[in-house]
Structure 1
Amino acid sequence: MKIIFTRTSMLAALMGAAALLTNAPAMAETSLTIATVNNGDMIRMQGLTSEFTKANPDISVKWVTLEENVLRQRVTTDIATKGGQFDVLTIGTYEVPIWAKKGWLVPLDKLGADYDAGDILPKIKDAVSVDGKLYAAPFYGESSMVMYRTDLFDKAGLKMPESPTWDFVIDAAKKLTDKQAGTFGICLRGKAGWGENMAFLTAMSNSFGARWFDEKWQPQFNTPEWKKTLTTYVDLMKEAGPPGASSNGFNENLALFNSGKCAMWIDATVAASFVTNPKESKVADKVGFALAPNTGLGKNANWLWAWSLAVPAGSQKVEAAEKFIAWATSKDYLKLVASKDGWANVPPGTRTSLYKNEEYLKVAPFAKLTLASIDAADPNKPTVKPVPYVGVQYAAIPEFQGIGTAVGQQFSAALAGSMTVDAALSAAQSATEREMKRAGYIK
């Protein structure tokens, strides 16, 4: 039988096909919920997410952006209780080895053939690996250093050494303080939290010869070294720091420095690109950099950290999560940021190739010092005296989160003037002893 196609029958067939397409199920979409910290580099990553979803139309991304202390609490609670709220976690070098050993993280061994994990800086890679396996991919890495106003130093006839002592920093801070003009000699973290004020104070204490625990896990806050550390910090901030310093963390001090209110700021090396960015900083062309201070005992007050992306074990969206992590922590992501905001603003401290990139070195006067600070930090020998723990600005034991936050609250209160240095140290010693006994480290 001969079949004749008329114009009407062809039209009917096309309409039928269109109806079938309209009623066909849409491409299955995987929705990722990503928990991250409200730091500048993460905010920039969120702004570039459309580049990822454009290349991966079957994946959508929802962001939960939190202040540092809140992020740590929410993410820890979620993974410990198997809450499943998040598909990608932003965690640090403290959590990775502890959580990986508990089986809470997915090993990241499927990031793609071109990911080049061998390019990750050795110190950073070791910090986010267990038994040679990567359990989190570093988004940016950091140590700490001094950022200072070159114009104010010149005006006062001061010259910042490349590796200053605490005595020099204290003397300069006092000379550079002009409270009537609203300029403070130094800005330092005071907000309570194991990763806020205690990150700074633990690194500072290392340079003063202090330690959290002796070799038998006995807390050490009743020692002369901790007394000198905390007294120096409180006295310095009272004389040369801004008002309300006990509420200031990284972001608050960044805002103060960028608005021209701090002559010096000792904090994370990652801040360097923000304080030298004329779009964000009023003093962008007047900033110098130096190593974190020391007291001549062989340790500078510099730490080691990386905010990294990880996948919680038991996740139903591992493949999509790994795709996102591979994108956000790749060499191509650095090129993407450079194409949008310039090489000076790419996330620092993770890849060896970045520190061999002439385009980056040309526009990032802080690059070599950042790398030197990261290389100088030694998590296995963080203190002048021997210790039983790993970690520069923390002790990598599960109990540290709770202990560090409790101690941070005492030290923040000492800064605020609501308790004495001696009372804060005594309370820190008692609280830490109590927790270490409860956990079975000491009797």
Structure 2
Amino acid sequence: MKRLISMLIILVTAIQLLAACSSGTGVEPTTTNPTSESAQATQAPPATTAPAATTESTEPTAAPTSASAAANGKPIKIGLITDQSKALSLYGSQEINGFMLGLEYATNGTMQVAGRPIEVIVKDDENNPERARQLARELIEKDGVELLQCCASTSSALTVIEIAKENNIIAMIDPAAGPQITGSNFNRFVFRTGRNTLQDALTAGPYMVENVGKEFVQLAPDTDFGKGSAASWRSIIETNGGTFVADDVFIPADTTDFTPYLQKLLDAADEKQAKVLMVTWAGSNFPRLFQQMQEQGVLDKLTLATGFGDNVTMPMVYADAVGSVGMIAYHYTLPKNEVNDWLVAQHKAKYGSYPDLFTAGGMASGIATVRGLEATKGDTNADALIAALEGMSFEGPKGTYTFRKDDHQALQPMYMVKLISTSDPDAKFFELLQERTAEQTAPPVMVTK
């Protein structure tokens, strides 16, 4: 009997599946319109209408001086960079929809702050960090944006925050989860509303060591995100008394035949007595990886620890895992507060589906952006916004978020859950076991410069 049936599911990262894989799940991924490259940024919609993001602006815009712009009611242009067409496009759509709803919520539907209308220009980085870098430059130099929002990919986020630093503008980050963003690659222009992988590990790592096993082996994609996540989990598990008995196995993200890498895991089980397989993954080839682990006997020898993902993924991958316990960053059924209630109702009305794994993070980013601009009276000057945002607490869909002054990481609640269904038509998949507080899951400050 494969251990899959009784495996413990612990979130390392949400597993991305493309929209094309979602038929029959009962929950469709969300989209934003329009997607034409020539679309102009839109003005604020009426208060009763959910705002729509736009794509590329074609006319160059003179760089504003933020204080005079605020005084004159000049529009605030925000450049949003994320994946809309490649492996992380589902997450990108969640980010966009959440961000736009966050702006709407925080402005009471006016899409204005201190008399300045908000315009959002969305660009597709195609899950390519160098394209993300180029787009960030174009948004600032050509389109005249004063703030940046990004990215689905950690690698893209790492390039965008460099451009933010060069141009002295704020970059809000969500959902990219690599710890480097608010750690080794941190700069003062970065604020992250999304959780990072250290917060994932602090939520679930101690439970794993106590209840699952102490001898681990780890698999992750050979990307900035994969390496950062692997380092996070290794640190927390070792701190809590677990050991990694073999080197981490890093796999190219576009792999289709996982055989040589899975053999390393089997060797770790046979020769080094590994008991638990920790898997971090983000990509549309996860079902293939999962299938090959079953076919090659990996799950006969190792207890799998991987992630509760988005609403599209759950019915496709986790049907045999009902009854398992683990953690998740967000599910629309878990938080009990007015902001989340609003998000669920508005998302259902506008997009015909429930908010998904990273919708809440996008919304939190939109809310934080508005709260910061309210504090500066519409001034987008970086020094003014940094002073306003550092240490700021605000209410979002998961409850209270606080930007830590040391690294601008948002501390926030996290969730331990039990999987009770993968077929519920309203995606009511989980029973809440424990809400872990922001203090309980606060990661160590990793800033190195």
TM-score class, shorter-chain normalisation, is 0.3 to 0.5
- Where is the helix percentage greater, Structure 1 or Structure 2? 1
Give the structure-2-normalised TM-score. 0.36
Q: Which has the larger radius of gyration?
A: 1
